Amino acid sequence: MNELLRVNYDSDRITLSARELHEFLEIETPFKKWFLRMTEYGFNQNFDYREVMDKNVQNPKGGRPSTDYEITLDMAKEIAMIQRSEKGKQIRQYFLELERKWNSPEAVMNRALEYSRKQVQALLQTNEKLELENKMKDQQLNELKPKADYYDQILQSKSLVLISQIAKDYGLGAPTMNKKLHELGVQYKQGGQWLLYSKYQNKGYTHSRTINITRSDGRSDVRMQTEWTQKGRLFLYELLRKNGILPIIEQN
């Protein structure tokens, strides 16, 4: 079947451009006036059609692109019948063939499978997010109950530092320091977050807090910011020193 007009299959219904249909039917009436007259046949906005901007057609007066309308296949078929022309008959037969293929058992099954795939993918993403949030909470809970000993008492301080500040003491960047701590078995990365391995979560090395953020696609999400206590800073110093990594002040 030759493609007479472009159609969209990205929703639960077939849709197409009213402006392109107007052009195919060779209607002499200006598009805006013609489409307004078509809507008088009982079509409902946001159900049978919705307004969109056609970036491919520039407004002759300048400014915003011209208006187009995304219309359903049912609306397009009725418009084709109204025209009572050879072009109208030709495009209506084309629409009927599209509809026949759309409603074939194979097409219905494919849409059902695609819907199921998207549902499974959404569930997996939700589960992954919940798993990460639970691990973040576990780390925070464990941080609230560090072991009490003399070492803790003498290191009690409200001063907290970010990994970027610690990395600077060694002449490194935060990404390099995070990677090194991962290699040394201190932390691991999941979902873009650096999390301490469980054996370090109850040592009082860090204090973490969640921050509400908005993703580039507009979704609300949370991320965790880990801050190191003075005890944690000394732990890293001892660990790094054992592995031949010294702060700048101790380097020859």
For the ranges 65-74, 104-113, 203-212, the lowest mean pLDDT is seen at 104-113
Residues across the chain: 252
- 172-195: pLDDT as tens digits: 999 999 999 999 999 999 877 889
d(CA 209, CA 136): 9
DSSP of 170-200: TT--HHHHHHHHHHTTSEEEETTEEEE-GGG
- Between the ranges 1-15, 129-143, 176-190, 232-246, where is the mean pLDDT highest? 176-190
The pLDDT, as a whole number, for residue 242 is 93
**In 103-249, which ranges are E strands?**
161-162, 187-190, 193-196, 206-214, 220-228
- 30-80: pLDDT as tens digits: 999 999 999 988 889 989 999 988 656 555 555 556 889 999 988 998 888
- 116-157: pLDDT as tens digits: 777 778 888 888 888 888 888 888 777 766 554 434 543 555
Q: Are 80 and 96 in contact (CB under 8 A)?
A: no
d(CA 19, CA 80): 13
Q: What angle do CA 132, 133, 137 make, to 5 degrees?
A: 115
The pLDDT, as a whole number, for residue 151 is 41
Calculate mean pLDDT across residues 7-16.
80
User: What's the whole-number average pLDDT of the chain?
Assistant: 82
d(CA 75, CA 7): 13
